[in-house]
């Protein structure tokens, strides 16, 4: 893959900014609970929110409660659980009823996780994730189990970096971007999406459709993003240079 060029400094006066969390604003940790608030990130988000006149949203696979914990409640406009849950800028909440197969999926993943202390099950309500970053030798079995449970329950399968997630079918990150862009706070701005994983491709595709651009964080791959940054440090430095 050819490396993507770095984006020019962000123009706050015309942009609407959508940011993933893990791998974008914060380094990926072996355990999800190990990601904690960070003073530099908190200051930066405060500055961006002011400079963008509120046109700032975090779009993450984490739960809404976890996002608020890590970001210390600084961001009101949030899309959580990969787009299934959305809190608008006025505080209104949109969330689906969990799929009927969720209970069986959680039970199956928890039973599998008993095989290795490095296997972690994260129940998000509308989805459940099986993390195996600390049990890499279980990767093939974990992926096979997730595919099997998805077929049995009708849940959507979402593969990630050392994680398999079974989710209630529904909106994606791209759908959340589209919804935010119809609100008065975001309307008539240029959408910019910054993210690192496969689920962010829905966000990249949507901002391109709306006349904006995506920024891929990490190793080059086939992507809808136009620009690239190497890592979280580069993302923070780029955002700190925004004017």
193 touches 59 (CB < 8 A): yes
DSSP letter at 82 equals: G
Say whether 88 is catalytic: no
DSSP letter at 76 equals: S
Place of tokens 């919804």: 179
Question: Of 20, 68, 197, 200, which residue is the catalytic one?
Answer: 20
User: Residues 6 or more apart from 158 whose CB is under 8 A from it?
Assistant: 82, 127, 164, 165, 166, 167, 199
3 touches 228 (CB < 8 A): yes
Helix (H) or strand (E) holding 18: strand 15-19
Q: Give me the active site residues, please.
A: 20
């Amino acid at each position: 893959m050819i490396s993507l060029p770095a984006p020019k400094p962000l123009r706050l006066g015309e942009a609407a900014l959508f940011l993933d969390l893990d791998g974008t604003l914060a380094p990926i940790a072996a355990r999800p609970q190990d990601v904690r608030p960070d003073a530099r990130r908190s200051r930066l988000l405060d500055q961006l929110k002011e400079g963008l006149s509120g046109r700032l949203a975090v779009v993450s696979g984490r739960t809404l409660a976890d996002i608020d914990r890590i970001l210390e409640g600084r961001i009101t406009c949030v899309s959580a659980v990969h787009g299934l849950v959305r809190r608008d800028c006025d505080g209104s909440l949109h969330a689906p009823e969990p799929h009927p197969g969720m209970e069986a999926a959680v039970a199956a993943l928890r039973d599998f996780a008993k095989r290795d202390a490095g296997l972690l099950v994260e129940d998000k309500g509308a989805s459940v994730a099986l993390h195996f970053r600390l049990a890499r030798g279980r990767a093939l079995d974990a992926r096979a189990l997730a595919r099997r449970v998805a077929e049995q329950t009708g849940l959507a399968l979402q593969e990630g970096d050392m994680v398999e997630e079974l989710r209630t079918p529904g909106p994606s990150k791209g759908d959340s971007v589209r919804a935010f862009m119809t609100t008065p706070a975001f309307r008539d701005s240029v959408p910019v999406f910054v993210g690192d994983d496969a689920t962010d491709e829905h966000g990249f595709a949507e901002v391109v459709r709306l006349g904006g651009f995506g920024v891929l964080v990490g190793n080059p791959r086939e992507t809808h993003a136009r620009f690239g940054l190497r890592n979280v440090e580069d993302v923070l430095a780029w955002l700190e240079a925004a004017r």
